A and B are shown apart, each in its own frame.
Chain A
Amino acid sequence: MKEKKILVRNNIILSITLLFVYIVLFEFILPVNRIIPKPSMLYESFLHIWSDYKLIYVFTTTIPILYSAIIFSALFLYAGAKYYIKLFIEMHYSILSFRIFRFVPVFFVVVLINFWLPNNLFAELLFAFLLAAFLAINKLFNELKKVNEEYLLVARNLDLSKSDIYKNVNWKSSLPTLAKYYEQIHLSLWTLILIYEFIDNSHGLGHIFRTALDYKDYTTLYVVAILLSLLIWLGDSVIKIVNKKIIYWSPE
């Protein structure tokens, strides 16, 4: 706990120092350049981006799509956990063959969906949901192989039904790693959703990046990137808090 406090304090000090150096260096000392914009230019861009790029509208598409996909995939995983575990245990090797799909480049899938269903918010939501669900189920199957053999022996010895073992042992045992993995799914999904919208070029934060790039509006690129970082940080923090609530025990 003490170490964590020190880490947070050091991070704050480092961020303030870097911000100070950036402001002094790029506002007052270095000339205007195309690599890193002046702080005042960023501020002006920040004020204009809301009307020029309809940022509020953008936020109401990308963010709901991404977080709905995460929530739906988690519910899908939770609701069907018993069946996936049963499927895995009873068809161990044949079910693993579906993992061959992990070698299919996601980028290709993005291009294909955009080709079939361009400018379609529902298609984007479906893509995000399927991706999150695939990653989570794949992780669940990986974790099922690692369930402590002695937990299973004890459960069988206590005459727990198969269904109870799936629910109370296999699922609970895999849950801490799965919940932690959602932090990674969250980061991957942000990247892939941005790529999706960048290619689709009709809506969302990815579309802003594309437009800003087309207009060579590099200050907007920076402003959106900063906002995006804050959003990702916020999302990550929320997932961590939810995980702490769900995983109330300390995993082995």
Chain B
Amino acid sequence: MIEVKNISKEYKDINGFKNVVLKSISLNISSVKITSIIAPSGSGKSTLLKIISGLEHATHGEMIKNENRKIIYIPSQPSSFPWLNVEENILLGLLKKNPPEIKSIIKFVGLEGYESFYPNNKSYGFRFRIALARSLAHQPDVILLDEPFNQMDIKTKQEILLLIRDAHKTLKTTFLLANTNITEALFLSDDIYLMKKNPGEIISQHVVDLPKERNELVYDSEKFIQLRSQIEKSFKKIDSQKLFSLSV
């Protein structure tokens, strides 16, 4: 488990004014669970994920985790390197040159037969699969997903949602997802944190007690609709301006 305690992030803008991006964020990322943070655009979700992954430093607060925990961050634009083919992208950063599990990971994410393809000019779904395979190859404790579905069409989005659920179930991977979309987060998650912006602050936490096995039918279930409406209500309690760009 990773515990984020009272994390704040401030920086000075070009005029020297203090800008508080994140204020006293506390959350628990439970092992072998999918946790989502739902927040409007510009609320500091990416900054929070970068702090958790160690790519940025918090101004205040602390993160309690085991020293050896491997946290992999997948940015909103899944960065597969265009000069490396699919296999080279997946192997990047690995100490072993060609570990035996790579083939099964490639097959698992649906890239079998595409190993020698170059990722550029390919769809976001394709590039996300590369990023996910690369992350899985590193055998991480947690994978952080920063708005992964932004530029995907509905069909690809559903395929990727199922793939993440499958990775979570089969490989026992822990995921932390930052998103603006309530439906996507509900479909994926076991826990949901709601965050407002200006400054970014956690306003509530929800446990998603939907069945572990999920498919498209879950969207129409009574429980799903009830949870969605509960989350929407939580957001409506705060200033409507802060809801800007949040989608259902």
By a beta-carbon cutoff of 8 Å, the part of chain A in contact with chain B is 148, 150-151, 153-160, 168-169, 172, 175, 248-252
Q: Hey, which bits of chain B sit against chain A, CB under 8 A? A: 50, 53-55, 71-77, 79, 81-83, 92-93, 118, 120-121, 131, 134, 138
Task: Given A151-B81, A154-B79, A172-B81, output 4 extra A-B contacts at Cβ < 8 Å.
Answer: A172-B83, A250-B121, A252-B82, A252-B120
Considering the complex of A and B, which 7 residue pairs feature the smallest CB-CB distances, nearest first?
A: A158-B93, A150-B79, A150-B75, A154-B79, A172-B83, A249-B83, A157-B73
User: What are 29 A-B pairs at a CB distance below 8 A?
Assistant: A148-B79, A150-B76, A150-B77, A150-B79, A151-B79, A151-B81, A153-B50, A153-B75, A153-B79, A154-B74, A154-B79, A157-B53, A157-B54, A157-B72, A157-B73, A158-B92, A158-B138, A159-B93, A160-B92, A168-B81, A168-B92, A169-B81, A172-B81, A172-B83, A248-B83, A249-B82, A250-B118, A250-B121, A252-B82
Secondary structure at the B interface, as helix, strand, loop or mixed, is loop
Contact of B82 among A150, A154, A250 (CB under 8 A): A250
Q: Note all chain A residues with C-beta closer than 8 A to B75.
A: 150, 153-154
B92: chain A residues at CB < 8 Å are: 155, 158, 160, 168
Please pick, from A153, A169, A251, A252, the residue contacting B73 in the complex, using a CB distance under 8 A: A153
Contacts of A172 on B, CB cut-off 8 Å? 81, 83
A168 to B120, CA, bound (A): 16
Do B93 and A160 touch across chains, with their CB atoms under 8 A apart? yes
* A249: B residues at CB distance < 8 A: 82-83, 118, 120
Q: Distance (Å) between the CB of A183 and the closest chain B CB? A: 20
A150 to B55, CA, bound (A): 11
Are B82 and A153 in touch, CB under 8 angstroms? no
> How near does chain B come to A144, taking the closest CB pair, in angstroms?
16
Given A249-B118, A250-B121, A251-B120, residue A156 in contact with residue B55 (CB < 8 A): yes
A251, B75: Cα distance in complex, Å: 19
Cα distance A166–B80 in the bound complex, in angstroms: 17
CA distance A168 to B75 in the complex (A): 18
- In angstroms, Cα B84 to Cα A169, docked, is 10
Find chain B residues with CB under 8 A from A248 CB. Answer: 83
Q: Complex: how many Å from CA A175 to CA B83?
A: 10
Bound Cα distance from A8 to B93, whole angstroms? 45
Q: Are B93 and A250 in contact (CB under 8 A)?
A: no
**Residue numbers in B under 8 Å from A159 (CB-CB):** 93
What B residues does A154 contact at CB under 8 A? Answer: 73-75, 79, 131
Are the CB atoms of A157 and B83 closer together than 8 Å? no
Q: Which residue of the partner chain A has the closest CB to B92?
A: A158
Q: Which residue of B lies closest to A164 (CB)?
A: B93
Question: Shortest CB–CB separation between residue B120 and chain A, in angstroms?
Answer: 5
The residues of B that contact A168 with a CB separation of less than 8 Å are 81, 92
Q: Which of B75, B93, B118, B121 has the most CB of A within 10 A?
A: B93
